[in-house]
């Protein structure tokens, strides 16, 4: 799985209707494709842990790419420096919660 493959999958599964529906959850729709959370989690599970891909997806600034990155990153490779860098990019509660509850809390103590 390459970064471009992952982005192509995300673009193919986004919809304007779902993107608009997230406004009720106060998730900003800039940099968003409109892929439902359930689809992202299911696809991330199929792709499995891929820390390098996660690191390649994060800088795209796409909401969905960051959600998937949190699911496929390897918690064993997460350190304080990576956490600090990631938290500087948090621009909404959904990214924050997903990273903290899916990835950071599973990282080994440092």
For the chain, the domains span 3-106
Instruction: Calculate what percentage of the chain has a pLDDT beyond 70.
Output: 100
- Whether residue 110 is predicted with pLDDT greater than 80 in this model: the reply is no
Q: What is the pLDDT of residue 29?
A: 84
Q: How far apart are CA 52 and CA 97, in angstroms?
A: 21
Find the radius of gyration of the CA atoms of the chain: 13
Q: CA 71 to CA 1: how far, in whole Å? A: 15
How many Å apart are CA 34 and CA 98, to the nearest integer?
Answer: 16
* Count of Cβ atoms closer than 10 Å to residue 73 Cβ: 28
Tell me the average pLDDT across 95-107: 96
| pLDDT number for residue 30 | 86
The whole-chain average pLDDT of the chain stands at 95
Q: Per mean pLDDT, which range of 1-10, 48-57, 80-89 is the poorest? A: 80-89
* Per-residue pLDDT tens over the stretch 19-62: 999 989 999 888 999 999 999 999 999 999 999 999 999 999 99
Ramachandran quadrant class, 49 (left: phi over 0; alpha: psi -120 to 50; beta: rest): beta
pLDDT band at 100 (very low <50, low <70, confident <90, very high): very high
pTM for this model (two decimals): 0.94
């Amino acid at each position: 799985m390459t970064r471009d493959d992952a982005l192509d999958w995300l673009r193919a599964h986004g919809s304007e209707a779902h993107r608009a529906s997230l406004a009720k959850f106060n998730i900003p729709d800039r940099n968003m494709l409109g892929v439902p959370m359930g689809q992202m989690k299911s696809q991330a599970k199929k792709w499995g842990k891929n820390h390098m891909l996660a690191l390649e997806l994060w800088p795209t600034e796409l909401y969905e790419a960051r959600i998937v990155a949190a699911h496929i990153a390897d918690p064993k490779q997460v350190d304080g420096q990576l956490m600090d860098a990631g938290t500087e990019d948090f621009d909404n509660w959904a990214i924050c919660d997903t990273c903290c509850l899916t990835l950071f809390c599973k990282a080994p103590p440092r």
